[in-house]
Amino acid sequence: MDNAISVTGPYPASPTVRHCDAGGHRLGPGQPWWLITDPSRGWHHNTGASCAAHLPSQGAVGEGHLYRVGDLFDADRTSWPQGSHLWLDSDGDTRLALFLNNPSRREISAVESGTPRFAWSEKDVNGFLLFKYGDSPWNDAPFNPHRLSEPFTAQQIPRGTHSRTFTFLVHADTGRIAAMRMFTWPAYFLNHVVGSVHRLAARDYSDIAAHTELQDFYRRYPDGPSLYRLVRTLPPGATCTGGQREDRPH
């Protein structure tokens, strides 16, 4: 619904989020915060921030989605196949979910506080988001616009701006969120990804060819070290650090 209220969080204290919009006060040192969508207050697509004391009530959230550590990632599912899943939303937001059986404390900490690194690789009719958090190995999430239920409509954003990326670490065997985090992508990187996906969408497609090419990718890049070698071959504009302020490659 266009007027639905949604809440995502909590997120750890961040130097880039310092104000509780809902309560009209400055966030304290180390204070966690939540992202709020509430069109009635002018906060579209997670543009409002709130401390715990000023969160909207569960009843007010209504048909919106409330993400919290310990809750189900999807209210209709209690298990997921292990692996990674990527959503590139039409409003420019990105959601990345990692589904693991019994994620370790180290894996949880990596998502919660590790430096996030990203890269994008385009192979035939498939795209791959390559990512790592802290000292975790490089991983990947495939993306194919031909398999979407609706046409891919995301557009590039103005240079100097940023898009939001949400990461969820989910217990694959229970469907419950173990850790979550939000940071930004600089425009140059999101625009690189969006441009690539539109190219993929314009190519001739068959399920058999896409599956064959996907399996070939995993034969060539079966683990973290091989994915790291792939990242090193990519142009600078195909990589970024989550949360970086500069709208240019490092």
So where are the chain's domains? 6-67, 83-241
CB 91 within 8 A of CB 45: yes
61: confidence class by pLDDT, cuts 50, 70, 90: very low
Higher pLDDT, 162 or 44: 162
81: confidence class by pLDDT, cuts 50, 70, 90: very high
Range with the lowest mean pLDDT among 17-21, 141-145, 154-158, 226-230? 17-21
pLDDT digit string (tens) for 152-175?
888 999 999 888 888 999 999 999
Q: Percent of the chain at pLDDT above 70?
A: 92
Higher pLDDT, 75 or 168: 168
231: confidence class by pLDDT, cuts 50, 70, 90: very high
Q: Give one word for 227, left, alpha or beta, with left for phi > 0 and alpha for psi -120 to 50.
A: alpha
pLDDT at 7: 77
pLDDT at 32: 83
